[in-house]
Copies of this chain bind each other. A is one copy, B any other.
């Protein structure tokens, strides 16, 4: 196995373990065992748990930014682009189950330098989504509301599902995305 693939395998497995057993209670020995490496070999790839924590954050936010940047705004309405964003966010509950909790709950355990790197990327992703809301307002698809607060409401609806969503439950993540999107767009009032 190539070095990059091996590193990525460790990061994914670590995200799973941190999600299930907790970040603080999982140590490098358990992690090495879970990926079938000797502990010194694991240390060859990562200087320690901190660094693995950072890579979980990196993978997660890079994935979201790529998704956001992959769409061509010139061919999509803001409404369609926003709906796709809801799907991106809910899809994470299946595709990045472990990453999600780690990203939302353990950002403060990163080193100062890593926190700053991740904050910049998180702000970049927030700006992408806020940009869709702003375009929708400009093009008269959306009401003229504070785009930052709308964006934070969207993140709330979608991201919060990590607290209750279970893969293989009665509702698929893309059904939940459609439901939330339609609720946000058309409102609850009769």
Within 8 A of B (CB), among A124-179: 133, 136, 140-143, 145-146, 149-150, 152-153, 155-161, 163-164, 171, 176, 179
A105 beta carbon closer than 8 Å to chain B: yes
Say if the beta carbon of A108 comes within 8 Å of chain B: yes
Which partner residue on chain B sits nearest A141 by CB separation?
B190
Task: Check A160–B155 contact: CB distance below 8 A.
Answer: yes
CA distance A146 to B178 in the complex (A): 13
- What is the bound-complex CA distance between A140 and B136, given in angstroms? 30
Number of residues on chain A facing chain B (CB within 8 A) = 40
Which residue of chain B is the closest to A21 with respect to CB atoms? Answer: B108
The CA of A149 and the CA of B156, in the complex, are separated in Å by 13
Given A156-B158, A156-B161, A160-B155, verify A185-B186 contact (CB < 8 Å). Answer: no
Q: Which positions in A face B, CB cutoff 8 Å?
A: 22, 24, 79, 104-105, 108-109, 133, 136, 140-143, 145-146, 149-150, 152-153, 155-161, 163-164, 171, 176, 179-180, 183-190
